[in-house]
């Protein structure tokens, strides 16, 4: 896998998969990112559990999205617990929107995308 490390590392990193995914894999990888905007971590979890043994491309995108949603959930809990953080609950939502769109674009380009500042719990 080759890594593309440009000046935009704060937007995450992308790598090229070792094989060329087919159209269905590409569509599922895009859906993982788009549906996670609206339905939290459930699309990533369901698609990961169904496709983890069939498609490494879809599994990588679903796993990365699942880890991102878990990380954002921890941030939401920390903000909700703090008194001042309640006023900033909208900020992680902006990050979710931006990075899910970037992830969908990278999946559309047949690239593997790794979110920045992501706590990778599921390996």
The tens digit of pLDDT for each residue in 55-71 reads 999 999 999 999 999 99
Domain range for 84 is 21-111
Separation CA 11–CA 116 (nearest Å): 6
The Cα 18–Cα 70 span in angstroms is 27
In a domain, 100, yes or no: yes
CA 69 to chain centre: 7
Task: Please report whether residue 16 resides in a domain.
Answer: no
Q: Are 103 and 64 in contact (CB under 8 A)?
A: yes
Structure tokens at 106: 């990278």
Distance CA(59)–CA(13), nearest Å, equals: 17
pLDDT at position 62: 96
In percent, the amount of the chain with pLDDT more than 90 equals: 71
Residue 75 falls within a domain, yes or no? yes
Predicted structure pTM score: 0.86
Quick: pLDDT tens for 80-123: 999 888 899 999 999 999 999 999 999 999 999 999 888 888 88
Domain count of the fold of the chain: 1
Is 64 within the bounds of a domain?
yes
């Amino acid at each position: 896998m080759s890594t593309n490390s440009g000046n935009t590392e704060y937007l995450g990193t992308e790598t090229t998969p070792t094989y060329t995914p087919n159209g269905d894999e590409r569509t599922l990888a895009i859906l993982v990112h788009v549906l996670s905007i609206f339905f939290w971590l459930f699309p990533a979890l369901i698609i990961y559990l169904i496709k983890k043994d069939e498609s490494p491309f879809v599994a990588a995108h679903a796993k990365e999205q699942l880890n991102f949603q878990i990380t954002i959930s921890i941030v939401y809990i920390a903000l909700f617990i703090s008194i001042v953080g309640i006023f900033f609950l909208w900020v992680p939502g902006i990050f979710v929107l931006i990075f899910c769109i970037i992830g969908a674009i990278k999946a559309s380009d047949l690239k593997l995308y790794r979110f920045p500042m992501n706590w990778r719990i599921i390996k």
